Structures are given as structure tokens and as C-alpha cells.
Amino acid sequence: MKKKYIYIIILVFLIICTGFIGAALYFFHEAVIPSHKSFLSDTKTLKKSDPLYKQKKWYLDADKQLWTMKSATGNLKLVANYIPAATQTDKTVVVAHGFMGSKDKMGAYAYLFHQLGYNVLLPDARAQGDSQGQYIGYGWPERKDYVKWINKVIDTNGQNSQIVMFGVSMGGATTMMTSGEKLPSQVKAFVEDCGYTNARTEIAYQAKELYHVPSFPLVNVVSGINKIRNGFFFGQASAVKQLHKNQRPMFFIHGAKDEFVPTSMVYQNYSATRGPKELWVVKGAKHAASLDKNPTEYQHKVAQFLSKYIK
């Protein structure tokens, strides 16, 4: 009789473990593997009701050059669109898109910088858009890719290049993570919009908000799976730690009503950087919607900040 109870206990334990492992693999798929995400808008058709219709339409119609290169790790083919400025210039912005985004979803930002007289380079991050890859890296492996894109700009446009890196959401985090790398002197400034402090904190937050599950131990296990498959623990992908190494100027933008990347994160990021900095918390703006809220003011503030460092 005693053996029977032991077998039952073992069986229940195995069922629980199997269920937990299944949940961890499911959450890894949701967090890291590119696929349709129910919590993200999947609108592909541009509508005239879009507050940024003019900007996005301009991007769709703009003449674009296709750039390619190999990723910093993994030998993946990465692609980007390059739009030269209307007038020849040594100013170039490198634009980083968000989670499950692509270069083509950054058209309104491309328009903004084109209006400011910049060449615009819009890469597809690994595993997204037209770039190769199996896993989303939350900015961590991508930071090395963006260093390569920056060097490609210099190789193509010359040693007199003046480069700005800009990103939104995951792209904002990627921008901050890139700022902590060893970069050429041609990189003059950064602008980040609604980036998170680190991947682990953001994923734990989303586990609670979207799936109503506690972060421990699920996120820890998923992080371990990510280490095996994707090469890093979530906690390593830290914008804050990278910002501690940055001494270049950075402009931080965040929506006051951001419930996807909590607004509180921008204050931690802002405090961490060691270079000249400015912060703009946009009243009433939700996640990645600060440009939609007031395109004119957004462009003005970005231009004002960059004018101090780009000539």
C-alpha cells in the first residue's frame, strides 16, 4: 500500500513537471520566437485616418537602397533600407525598430529625420522583417549588429560621417545597449523612445500583465532556455548596465501613459547614463505613441536636442 502512494506521488510530480516545462516552452515561444502575437496590433494596411498617414505614405513611395551584411554573430544575413537625404550630407541616422517590427514599420520616423536633413538607414533586426534568424534578442545580440551597421555607414559615406542612433521600444533598448559598446568617434548622439531597463524585468512584467502568472520561477526557467538556444540570460540584456558605460549625449522620450513598458523605467535609464542627457515624458501618450500624439513637437524636440551635437 505504501508503494502505491509513492508511485502516485511520483506520477503527480511528473505530471506537474511536464506541465511546467510545457508552460515554459510556450512562454519561450511567445517571448522569443517570431510569430503572430495576439497582444500586438497586426494592421498592415495604411489608412488615411492614421495620424501619421502622410509620413508613412512618404516612406512607402521613397526611393530606397537595399543594404545587406552578415550579423556580428551567427553568420545571419541582415538587410536594411537606406534613404539618402534630399541634399548630400554627412549626417546619418540609424533607426532601430521594436519587438516584432521591421524597417517598414518605422516609416514615420524615417520621414522625420529626412525632414531634418539626414540620410536614414533602417535595418531589420535579426529574425524580424527580411533579416535571417530564429530568435528575437531583445537588443542584446543586436547591439553588436548595430555597431557593424554604424561602421558600414562610415565605410560607405566617409570618415566625416556624423551618426545618430535612434530606436523605439525594443529598438530604444537596443539603442541604449549599443551606447555601452566601443563605438567610432563618428557616433555623436542617441535618441531612445520608450525602451525598457532590461529584458528580464520587461518580460517578467509582461508575464504578469498579459498572462497573469508570477515571474518566479517561470521567467527564470524561460531565461535558462533562452541561454541555451539564444546565447544569453534575459538579465544580461540590460540597458541600465550599458548606459553606465555611455558618455555620449542621449535624449530619452517616454509616454506618460505607457502600460507596455512602464513609464517608471525611463527614470532608471535616464539616471544610469553618464553623458549629457535630456528627458521628455509625453503627456497622455501610450506605448510607442509619442510621435502620434504630437508629430510637430516631437520633431522639434528631437531637432533641438541634436542641433547641440550635430553640425
Find the mean pLDDT for residues 213-228.
Answer: 89
Cα distance between residue 270 and residue 281, in whole Å: 11
**Cα separation of 247 and 157, whole Å?**
24
Helix ranges restricted to H, 33-131: 53-61, 107-115
In this structure, are strands 91-96 and 162-168 parallel, antiparallel, or unpaired?
Answer: parallel
Q: Give residue 286's pLDDT band: very low, low, confident or very high (50, 70, 90).
A: very high
Whole-number Å distance between alpha carbons of 118 and 121: 9
**Other CB atoms within 10 A of residue 160 CB:** 8
Which range among 150-154, 218-222, 252-256 shows the weakest confidence by mean pLDDT? Answer: 218-222
Cite the beta strand spans of the chain per DSSP E.
Answer: 65-70, 77-83, 91-96, 119-123, 162-168, 187-193, 250-255, 277-282
Question: For residues 156 and 63, is the Cβ–Cβ distance under 8 A?
Answer: no
CB 165 within 8 A of CB 184: no
Residue 255 near residue 285 (C-beta atoms within 8 A): yes
Residue range 154-172: mean pLDDT, rounded: 98
At 184 the three-state DSSP class reads: coil
Residues 128-142: what's their mean pLDDT?
A: 98
Confidence at residue 12, expressed as pLDDT on a 0 to 100 scale:
44
| pLDDT surpassing 50 at residue 228 | yes
Residues 6+ apart with CB under 8 A from 98: 105, 167, 168, 169, 170, 171, 172, 288
First to last CA, the chain: 84
Per-residue pLDDT tens digits for 23-48:
788 889 999 999 876 666 666 789 99
At 120, give phi and psi (nearest 5°).
-125, 125
DSSP 152: H
Mean pLDDT over 281-296 rounds to: 97
- Residue partners of 287: CB distance under 8 A and separation at least 6: 169, 194, 255, 258, 259, 260, 261
CATH of region 52-198+237-306: 3.40.50.1820
pLDDT tens, 68-88?
Answer: 999 999 999 999 999 999 999
pTM (predicted TM-score): 0.92
Q: What are phi and psi of 238, to 5 degrees?
A: -110, 115
Instruction: Give the pLDDT of residue 13.
Output: 46
- Helix, strand, coil shares, percent, the chain, to 5: 45, 15, 40
pLDDT at 10 over 60: no
Residues of the chain above pLDDT 90, percent:
84
Rounded to whole angstroms, how far apart are CA atoms 270 and 248?
A: 13
What three-state secondary structure class fits 135? Answer: coil
Per the omega criterion (within 30 degrees of 0), is the bond before 295 cis?
no
Q: What is the DSSP string of 218-236?
A: HHHHHHHHHHHHHSS-GGG
Given this model, what pLDDT does residue 127 score? 97
Q: Residue 44: CB partners within 8 Å, gap ≥ 6?
A: none
